[in-house]
Structure 1
Amino acid sequence: MIREMIVVEGKEDTAAIRRAVGADTIETGGSAVGEDVLRRVELAFERRGVIVFTDPDSPGERIRKIVAERVPGVKHAFLTRDEARGKDGIGVEHASDEAIRRALDRVREPEAQGASVSTREPELEWSDLLDAGLIVHASSARRRERIGELLGIGYANGKTLYKRIVMFRITREEFVAALEQLEREGL
């Protein structure tokens, strides 16, 4: 049984999570996250911890952002678009049990809050993403998608990718290893 409560979008996501692992969920009811849901997430965070596990699409990212802004410190689990693809679209509910377990095994925790940590400079800079062809490059979208998979931080546009790299304390070594994998794959 997973100790933390998992924030998902709806009932079908809850069914998929429960099918794959023992866990309790909080359903947002879609991307219009209400005050009552946010209060439940705050309470769950205080008592058990929270993992945000939303669809790898725009509404899922919107929910992730709303929850993380309201409750800093929540953990994040990510599926790739391919893992979440079903005949009816993209969503956690379409993922295999194995993909769900793998995503939950790779949960990412944001940078800890506190003065001693918040003043620490990030290991990577915007220019590192530019130099790596992750922004302003002919195949930057595909490269960002794959590096997000390799780092376990999900697909994002350039600005969001950089924020996640900083937030999840991705080290230069992790970044370089992922870039080397991109090169081996010919991306």
Structure 2
Amino acid sequence: MKIKEVIVVEGKDDTARLKEAVDADTIETGGSAINETVLEQIRHAKDKRGIIIFTDPDYPGERIRHIVNEHVPGCKHAFLPKHLARAKLDKGIGIEHASVEDIRAALSSVYELVEEYEEHITKNDLISYGLLGGRLSRQRRQKLGIKLHIGKTNGKQLLRRLNMFQITKEQLNEAMRDIIQEERNEE
């Protein structure tokens, strides 16, 4: 799979693992202390080819994603759930631990964040599906984040992220039907 955009990752291990999965160029942030030089490289790459931010599914990775998105708006985002980025023998979490197949799947579901968007999904929609305020809300949000490739969210972030990624009510309804059916099958 050849990727047109340049992919922003955290470090060399992420780049090495990515290159096993896809044909792509990367910019490494070197961790969450991103300097202006790296941000300028990202800006330039975005103007020329586009950017995909693909950081680890942990606090430092989300922080990097936020910093880059704040300084270089309009980047695309790929997400990998924590359970697919967990090291086998230790407690490490990162893109470098993911399988080639999972990396390809995450990159095939790339989203572009937009500053202004029309809200399609409401708080009432989330409440009706038990995504807010219920005993299963956290687990359902986690499953929904995986199914829609929008990353892990808390209750406050979910509505914003669904609308920011322009997820339609139809897509939400379909994903929630699957999640509820999976829950019934587990009983």
Q: Distance in 1 between matches of 2:9 and 2:83?
A: 18
Find the partner of 1:109 among 90, 109, 112. 112
Q: Which structure 2 residues correspond to residues 16-55 of structure 1 after superposition, within 5 A?
A: 16-55=17-56
Q: What's the CA shift string for 1:38-95, capped at 9, x where partnerless?
A: 1111111000100000111111111111111111110011111111111332110000
Per the alignment, residue 95 of structure 1 pairs with: 98
Per the alignment, residue 184 of structure 1 pairs with: 181
Question: How many matched pairs?
Answer: 181
Find the partner of 1:155 among 152, 157, 164. 152
Q: Residue 185 of structure 1: SS of its match in structure 2?
A: helix
List, as ranges, runs of 4+ consecutive aligned residues in structure 1 with deviation greater than 6 Å. Answer: none
| % identical aligned pairs | 51
Q: Please give the TM-score of this superposition, normalised by the length of structure 2.
A: 0.91
Q: Distance in 2 between matches of 1:26 and 1:164?
A: 25
Amino acid at match of 1:75: K
Shift in Å at residue 169 of structure 1?
Answer: 0.3
Q: Distance in 2 between matches of 1:47 and 1:97?
A: 27
| CA contact 2:11–2:31 (8 Å) conserved in 1 | yes
Find the partner of 1:165 among 162, 166, 170. 162
Q: Please give the TM-score of this superposition, normalised by the length of structure 1.
A: 0.91
Per the alignment, residue 72 of structure 1 pairs with: 73
Query: Could you list the runs of 5+ residues in structure 1 that have no partner in the other structure?
Result: none
1:3 aligns with 2:4: yes
Amino acid at match of 1:21: V
Find the partner of 2:137 among 130, 137, 140. 140
Q: Distance in 2 between matches of 1:30 and 1:136?
A: 35
Q: Relative to structure 2, which stretch is displaced further, 38-47 or 84-93?
A: 84-93
| CA contact 2:118–2:163 (8 Å) conserved in 1 | no
Amino acid at match of 2:178: Q
Shift in Å at residue 129 of structure 1?
Answer: 1.7
Amino acid at match of 1:48: R
Q: Residue 6 of structure 1: SS of its match in structure 2?
A: strand
Shift in Å at residue 160 of structure 1?
Answer: 2.1
